[in-house]
A and B are shown apart, each in its own frame.
Chain A
Amino acid sequence: CNHCVMEIWFWLCLQFVWMAINIFLFVYFYFFYDLGPQFFYTRHLLGSALPWARAPAAVLNFNCMLILLPVCRNLLSLLRGSFVRCSRTMRKQLDKNLTFHKLVAYTIALMTAVHTIAHLFNLERFNNSRQGLGDELSAALSELADTENTTYLNPIPTYFAFTTIAGLTGVVITLALILIVTSSMEVIRRSYFEVFWYTHHLFIVFFAGLVFHGAGRIVRSQQRTNPPHNTTFCKDRPDDWGRIPECPIPQFAGGFPQTWMYVIGPMVIYLCERLVRFIRYMQRVRYKKIVMRPSKVLELQLIKNGFKMDVGQYVFVNCPAISQLEWHPFTMTSAPEEDFFSVHIRSAGDWTDKLIEIMKKVPEGAEGPKLGVDGPFGTASEDVFDYEVSMLIGAGIGVTPFASILKSIWYKFKDSDPKLRTRKIYFYWLCRETHAFEWFADLLQVLEKEMEERGMGDFLTYKLYLTGWDQSHATHVMVHFDKDTDVVTGLKQKTHYGRPIWDKEFEQVHVDPRKTRFYFNKENF
């Protein structure tokens, strides 16, 4: 499959470029601090712990700049829209934004660890020098203080971790980072989303502290003096400093803090993103219909001015009556041809349960509670229309976007839309049980009926595979074997049990890989 291969290659290329930049920054700044002559005296006190601390700091600057960008979903939508001319392969990369966000986060965590450990060594060595445990040169360097003629190199008083800006901010932001990481573990994220979401807002503390982390300017380099202080000559005679013309007292100054330059742009962009979400939240969403489906599935048909969607996209929904701050994503199940957009919401946690309860109480024809809708997001699956034969495979919850795709194909067919090249669709639906998907079975029934009415019974061939069957299931099916429609779904095509044997399926369909487009949608494939 050419597309799939290209997409993977593109993704690998992007990752390679990102990794190459990281490695370059690390190595460049490592040698900058390891070999730079202005750090000669600093290195004498600290050894290689200095470059080991500064190299990850550079990588951290770069990655903290990047981390906010992949979560600006409205910005990404904008990019996706502007690049409509570019290949879909490139636009698909934008769908991997969360994967990239996590990758950058892991890098930040790793570099923070290296940076912190290196600084532990630095502090210990600064401390040792102050206590006179080093050589004569170290003692002399540590003596220097910020007075009229001298500037300091060794910043200690002891326990400076809690008395300097760098130390204090360092501890606070590392703590924030640890809390963010532990609450972002998959176990917590999937089951207790609120904990993850609210704790994640500690990133505000993280960025605030990060910007001020270097304000104390305690990593110091030697400055030019007049006359110049030659380190090679003067390092062996610290007692003569200030007394002989070749060795004036060396002067030091801290480096200009740079982190803010890296992160200010993304911080502003993220602020704009939250502003856009707020504006979207204020836009009015009207109800067309509220339908309670079997197995605690709620269908909401909504209308929003200026809302334009494509097949396979998703929206974020917010209900202030339940929670002001929570936005939850749902794939849209309506086709773009319809004059509304719909989502099917299954009971799967606190928020969805409350939503279903509230909607149940809304009287017939009345407007439901105020909703905010952000989106649509995601790369559309519009190339499904370009192929004569489409083989669509949906597993579990992954079947939801197919509601949109199948409806849209049918609308386009009825309107004889020239963009539609599809002549035959094979749809494979795999799930453990049909519980919570009865609405989809209903949709298939409706489509089935309409196609038969037009004599197009052959247009759509679908096969349902129930992978979670047991003995009582099998008995039930055996007893009702003769019925025209399937006993489980009520559809003309009978349900299969177990997983499909793909080799046989491909044979039956006469798959020619060059002419067919494979479109998978998986939950856990």
Chain B
Amino acid sequence: MGKIEWAMWANEQALASGLILLTGGIVGVAGQFRGWQFAAYAVAAGVFVCLLEYPRSKRAKGTSVERTGQYCFTVCVKAFGPLTRNYYVRAFLHAAICVPGGFMLATVLGCVCLGIASLIYLAAAIRGEHWEPILPRKETRKPVAESIKNPPQNPPPRPPPEMRRKQAGDLEKSAYDNPMSVTDDE
């Protein structure tokens, strides 16, 4: 299990927990259960956790797969800087958020799941992982060199004509291979 990035699993677990917390909260409020105030809290907490966990982090190794439409969320989460980058913060945040869910049956499952996600994030933080936003790669065109706009005005310097003429007397010295084929039949 050497190369596992725990944060990837923690993220899936936390997102699932957010949804479970949300569902439990909705049931509690809709059914007007005893302790529905905890359920109302769970709805808000569930939504918050889902929003925080929806954008997947960029993987340290390998290709990262974005969730559909996560770009807006990435930008929001990135704006909080070190608070969202650091997994210790996330671990403690989730641990704190999940506690009130434990006081009502409808939300207790969401509470335990989020607690587990918090533990996995702790493991990720201890191993030094952190959250990186997945941003679209900017296409950088190679800037066109300035010299292309100013072609040379003069021909290159050449030796005087006597030297350029082939020395018919000295075949060895004047022979050379054409770099490209100049005959017709190839």
A182 to chain B, nearest CB (A): 4
Interface size class of A (residues with CB under 8 A): 20 to 34
Within 8 Å CB of A171, what residues of B?
A: 108-109, 112
> DSSP class of A's interface residues: helix, strand, loop or mixed?
helix
Indicate if A178 sits at the interface (CB-CB under 8 A). yes
Stretch binding the partner chain, chosen from A67-75, A189-197, A242-250 = A189-197
Interface of chain A residues 137 through 195 with chain B (CB within 8 A):
159, 161, 171, 174-175, 178-179, 181-183, 185, 187-188, 191-192, 194-195
- Within 8 Å CB of A123, what residues of B? 105
Q: Which of B94-131 contact A (CB under 8 A)?
A: 105-106, 108-109, 112-113, 116
A-facing mask of B50-81, CB < 8 A → 1, else 0?
00000010010010010000000000000000
- Known A-B contacts A124-B34, A350-B1; the reply to A195 vs B9 at CB < 8 A is yes
0/1 per residue, A297-318, Cβ < 8 Å to B?
A: 0000000000000000000000
Contacting B at CB under 8 A, from A99-146, are 113, 116-117, 120-121, 123-124, 127
A192, closest chain B residue (CB) = B4
**Is the CB–CB distance between B108 and A178 below 8 Å?**
no
Q: Is the interface of B mostly helix, strand, loop or mixed?
A: helix
Do A187 and B12 form a contact, CB below 8 Å, given A113-B23, A120-B105, A192-B5? yes
Which residues from B are CB-within-8-Å of A127? 34
| A161 contacts B105, C-beta separation under 8 Å | yes
What residues on B are CB-neighbors of A192 within 8 Å? Answer: 1, 3-5, 8-9
Bound together, the chains give a CA A183 to CA B15 distance in angstroms of 12
B109 touches A187 (CB 8 A): no
Contact B62 A191 (CB under 8 A): yes
CA distance A174 to B110 in the complex (A): 11
B16 close to A187 (CB less than 8 A): no
Contacts of B65 in A (CB 8 A): 187
Determine whether B143 belongs to the interface, using a CB cutoff of 8 Å to chain A.
no
Q: Is B22 an interface residue (CB 8 A)?
A: no
Tell me if A349 counts as interface (CB < 8 A to partner B).
yes
Q: Which residues of B contact A195 (CB under 8 A)?
A: 1, 4, 9
- Within the assembled complex, what's the spacing in Å between the Cα atoms of A182 and B5? 14
Given that A161-B105, A178-B16, A350-B1 are contacting pairs, would A124 and B33 also be in contact in the complex, using a CB cutoff of 8 Å? Answer: yes
A183 pairs with B33, CB closer than 8 A:
no
Task: Evaluate contact between B8 and A191: CB separation under 8 angstroms.
Answer: yes
A168 to B20, CA, bound (A): 18
Q: Which one, A117, A121, A188, contacts B12 given CB within 8 A?
A: A188
Which listed residue (A120, A178, A194) contacts B27, Cβ 8 A?
A: A120
A175 to B106, CA, bound (A): 14
B10-31 at interface with A (beta carbon < 8 Å): 12-13, 16, 20, 23-24, 27-28, 31
Q: A191-B62, A350-B3 are in contact. Are A175 and B109 (CB under 8 A)?
A: yes
**A188 surroundings in chain B (CB, below 8 A):** 8-9, 12
Residues of A near B3 (CB, < 8 A) are: 192, 349-350
Give the Cβ gap from A479 to chain B, nearest Cβ, in Å. 11
Q: Once the chains bind, are B8 and A178 in contact (CB under 8 Å)? A: no
**Is residue B156 within 8 Å, beta carbon to beta carbon, of the partner chain?**
no
Chain A residues near B151: list those with CB within 8 A: none
Residues B140-165 near A (CB distance < 8 A): none
Shortest Cβ distance from residue A180 to the other chain B in the assembled complex, whole angstroms: 11
Q: Tell me, yes or no, whether B169 is within 8 Å of chain A by CB.
A: no
- Given known A171-B108, A175-B109, A175-B112, contact A121–B31 (CB-CB < 8 A): yes
Which residues of chain A come closer than 8 Å to B105, judged between CB atoms? 120, 123, 159, 161
Tell me, rounded to whole Å, the shortest Cβ–Cβ distance linking A517 to chain B.
35
Closest A residue by C-beta to B17:
A178
Q: Does the CB pair B4–A179 fall under 8 Å? A: no
Alpha-carbon distance A188/B56, docked complex (angstroms): 12
A residues less than 8 Å from B112 (CB atoms): 171, 175
Closest chain B CB from A49 CB (angstroms): 9
Contacts of A181 in B (CB 8 A): 16
A375 CB to nearest B CB, Å: 25
Provide the bound-state CA to CA distance between A349 and B65, in Å.
Answer: 18
Find the A residue at minimum CB distance from B15: A182
CB contact under 8 A between A161 and B9, given known A124-B31, A178-B20: no
Contacts of B1 in A (CB 8 A): 192, 194-195, 350
Measured CB to CB, the closest approach of chain B to A85, in angstroms, equals 44
Residue ID in chain A nearest B181 by CB atoms:
A482
- Whether A179 lies near B108 (C-beta < 8 A) is no
In the complex, A113 Cα to B33 Cα: how many Å?
18
B33 contact set on A, CB distance < 8 A? 120, 124
Asked if B116 contacts A179 (CB within 8 A), the reply is yes
CB of B136 closer than 8 Å to a CB of A: no
A-B contact pairs, 5 of them (CB 8 A): A120-B106, A182-B13, A187-B56, A192-B9, A195-B1
Which A residues lie at the B interface, using CB under 8 A?
Answer: 113, 116-117, 120-121, 123-124, 127, 159, 161, 171, 174-175, 178-179, 181-183, 185, 187-188, 191-192, 194-195, 349-350
Task: Report B's interface with A, CB cutoff 8 A.
Answer: 1-5, 8-9, 12-13, 16, 20, 23-24, 27-28, 31, 33-34, 56, 59, 62, 65, 105-106, 108-109, 112-113, 116
Shortest Cβ-Cβ A-B pairs, 7 listed: A182-B12, A192-B4, A182-B13, A194-B1, A124-B33, A120-B106, A182-B16
14 additional contacts (CB under 8 A) given A120-B28, A161-B105, A191-B59: A120-B106, A124-B31, A171-B112, A175-B113, A178-B16, A181-B16, A183-B9, A187-B12, A187-B65, A188-B9, A188-B12, A192-B9, A194-B1, A195-B1
